[in-house]
């Protein structure tokens, strides 16, 4: 089959990690006789530099024409440190999510047995953790009215949610729970926020449509603590935009590095696949960032296209790289492999995994070097 994939490498480490995800997809194409046509487009600080806009029209129209979108990361310190900047890289990503209707962001988190020692959390606490966060992505405070008083001493960010916005992601989260361990936790701040009370009321009213799912509720402050104290209690977490952003970075500590966390941003018409991490500007151009979040995002892309065997080929290769410690410095500081070497290993493993020849492993393991 032929698929058109829009690729948005973005800023900082975005281009480096996205290149490895493309390598993995090309290896899949070779083994399984698919054809991926990749078309690249600008978004973020690089797009502002080139066109003045963080999301050029050509990028949006390319995304609309594509079967799926692979995205790296955006963001640049020159904007992070300038609160007065009117045009910012992040506006590109937010506009893309909104214009494409990508309301449901799925963020899987698991403790890989191979990496159990990498987390600062105790082994017995994290071992066996397998959570998926359903983060609402096109509503809430991110997209509310923003105001600054004329004398610039008072700022306002509005937060609103409608029943329709809550229901459409909640149906997906309930269904995901049905396919997993049948537990759904709504995380909110219903003791304070009107929007959270609407979430609670709406989800409670939906529960009878999913009688096999055990539904519970947690306030977000407690949820932040429970994620670290006892992450195994969670199966599917459903939450609003801002809480999902914060809790997923926190949860990445369970896996051992944020460089492992992939995500799918899904709408009715299309879907975009993105690591949860940012542009990590300190590592840009150094070939040292972990590409696995981007590579695992490519696996989620394949699943979305219904290519399950192919997606498994990528996740198996990732597991093998972790087992052999063919990993970047965040996971393997003593004997770090570069970003591109990890990508090469994954692509080679996908193409040659039937090959039981141990030389194959030796070639890669002998190549360790580094930064
Ligand atoms: N989706 C996105 O594009 C996205 C997400 C978050 C932040 N950002 C932007 O990225 C810029 C930097 O933000 P930040 O420093 O808060 O977050 P960040 O995720 O870029 O980096 C935070 C820390 O996480 C670690 N890290 C991140 N990615 C890694 C990787 N692939 N491999 C190994 N370690 C990794 C590093 O220790 C890094 O210092 C900002 O401009 C921000 O707005 C963009
Ligand atoms: C860059 C920023 C707008 C974005 C968000 O807050 O959604 C990021 O942190 C993420 O998690 O994808
Ligand atoms: Mg974030």
Tokens of 216: 């519970």
pLDDT given at position 305: 97
User: What is the mean predicted confidence (pLDDT) over 79-91?
Assistant: 94
Model confidence at 353, pLDDT cuts 50, 70, 90, reads confident
**Does residue 249 have a known ligand-binding role?**
yes
Are 17 and 291 a contacting pair, CB within 8 Å? yes
Tokens of 230: 């006892």
> Helix, strand or coil for residue 29?
helix
Closest CA to 292 of 253, 266, 263: 263
The whole-chain average pLDDT of the chain stands at: 95
Q: Which residue segments constitute the domains of the chain, with CATH numbers given?
A: 1-103+261-371 (3.40.718.10), 119-255 (3.40.718.10)
Ligand 3 center from residue 208 Cα (angstroms): 33
Q: Where are the alpha helices (DSSP H) in the chain?
A: 14-32, 45-51, 57-65, 77-80, 89-100, 123-126, 163-179, 194-206, 220-229, 241-255, 292-304, 308-323, 339-352, 358-366
What is the percent of the chain with per-residue pLDDT over 90, rounded to a whole number? Answer: 94
User: What is the mean predicted confidence (pLDDT) over 14-21?
Assistant: 98
Q: Does the pLDDT at position 25 exceed 60?
A: yes
32 in catalytic set:
no
**Does residue 197 have a known ligand-binding role?**
no
User: What is the mean predicted confidence (pLDDT) over 93-117?
Assistant: 97
What stretches of 76-234 adopt beta strand conformation (E)? 104-110, 130-136, 146-148, 155-157, 183-188, 214-219
- Reported as a single tens digit per residue, the pLDDT across 40-61 is 999 999 999 999 999 999 999 9
> Helix, strand or coil for residue 218?
strand
Q: Does the pLDDT at position 196 exceed 60?
A: yes
Q: How far apart are CA 240 and CA 184, in angstroms?
A: 14
Nearest CA to ligand 2 atom 3: 90
pLDDT given at position 83: 84
- How is 55-70 classified by DSSP, letter by letter? S-HHHHHHHHHSSEEE
pLDDT given at position 370: 42
- How is 269-295 classified by DSSP, letter by letter? S-EEEEESS---GGGTTSS-S--HHHH
Q: How far apart are CA 48 and CA 104, in angstroms?
A: 27
Compute the C-alpha angle 302/306/312, nearest 5°.
50
Q: Does the pLDDT at position 230 exceed 60?
A: yes
Nearest CA to ligand 1 atom 7: 278
| 81 or 156, which is more confident | 156
Are 140 and 161 a contacting pair, CB within 8 Å? yes
Nearest CA to ligand 2 atom 6: 245
Our mutation pick for probing the ligand 1 site, out of 280, 296, 340, counting the most ligand atoms within 8 A of Cβ, is 280
Q: How far apart are CA 336 and CA 322, in angstroms?
A: 12
- Reported as a single tens digit per residue, the pLDDT across 233-264 is 999 999 999 999 999 999 999 999 999 999 99
- Reported as a single tens digit per residue, the pLDDT across 250-300 is 999 999 999 999 999 999 999 999 999 999 999 999 999 999 999 999 999
Model confidence at 359, pLDDT cuts 50, 70, 90, reads low
Are 79 and 47 a contacting pair, CB within 8 Å? no
Ligand 3 center from residue 95 Cα (angstroms): 15
Model confidence at 360, pLDDT cuts 50, 70, 90, reads low
Model confidence at 84, pLDDT cuts 50, 70, 90, reads confident
57 in catalytic set:
no
Ligand 2 center from residue 276 Cα (angstroms): 7
What is the percent of the chain with per-residue pLDDT over 70, rounded to a whole number? Answer: 95
ipTM over the 0.95 cut-off: yes
What stretches of 60-129 adopt beta strand conformation (E)? 68-73, 104-110
In angstroms, how far is CA 103 from the centroid of its own chain?
A: 14
């Amino acid at each position: 089959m032929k698929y058109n994939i829009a690729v948005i490498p973005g800023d900082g480490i975005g281009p480096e990690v996205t290149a490895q995800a493309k390598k993995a997809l090309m290896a899949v194409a070779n083994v399984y006789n698919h054809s991926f046509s990749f078309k690249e487009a600008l978004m973020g600080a690089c797009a502002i530099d080139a066109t003045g806009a963080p999301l050029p029209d050509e990028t949006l129209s390319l995304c609309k024409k594509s079967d799926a979108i692979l995205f790296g990361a955006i963001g640049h310190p020159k904007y992070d440190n300038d609160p007065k900047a009117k045009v910012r890289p992040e506006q590109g990503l937010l506009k893309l999510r909104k214009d494409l209707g990508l309301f449901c962001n799925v963020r899987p988190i698991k403790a890989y047995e191979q990496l159990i020692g990498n987390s600062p959390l105790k082994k017995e606490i994290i071992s066996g953790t397998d959570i998926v966060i359903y983060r609402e992505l096109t509503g809430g405070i991110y997209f509310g009215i923003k105001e600054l008083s004329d004398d610039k001493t008072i700022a306002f960010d509005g937060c609103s949610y409608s029943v329709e916005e809550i229901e459409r992601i909640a149906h997906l989260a309930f269904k995901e729970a049905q396919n997993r361990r049948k537990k759904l936790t709504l995380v909110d701040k219903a003791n304070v926020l009107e929007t959270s009370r609407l979430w609670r009321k709406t989800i409670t009213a939906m529960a009878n449509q999913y009688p096999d799912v055990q539904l519970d509720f947690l306030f977000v402050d407690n949820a932040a603590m429970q994620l670290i104290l006892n992450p195994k209690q969670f199966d599917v977490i459903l939450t609003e935009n801002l809480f999902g952003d914060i809790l997923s970075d926190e949860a990445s500590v369970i896996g051992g590095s944020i460089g492992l966390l992939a995500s799918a941003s899904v709408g009715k018409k299309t879907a975009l696949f993105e690591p949860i991490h940012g542009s990590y500007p300190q590592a840009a151009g150094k070939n040292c960032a972990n590409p696995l979040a981007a590579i695992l995002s490519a696996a989620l892309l394949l699943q979305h296209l219904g290519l399950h065997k192919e997606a498994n080929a990528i996740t198996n290769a990732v597991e093998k790289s972790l087992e052999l410690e063919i990993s970047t410095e965040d996971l393997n500081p003593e004997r770090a492999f570069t970003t591109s070497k990890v990508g090469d290993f994954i692509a080679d493993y996908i193409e040659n995994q039937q090959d039981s020849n141990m030389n194959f492993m030796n070639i890669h393991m002998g190549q360790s070097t580094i930064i």
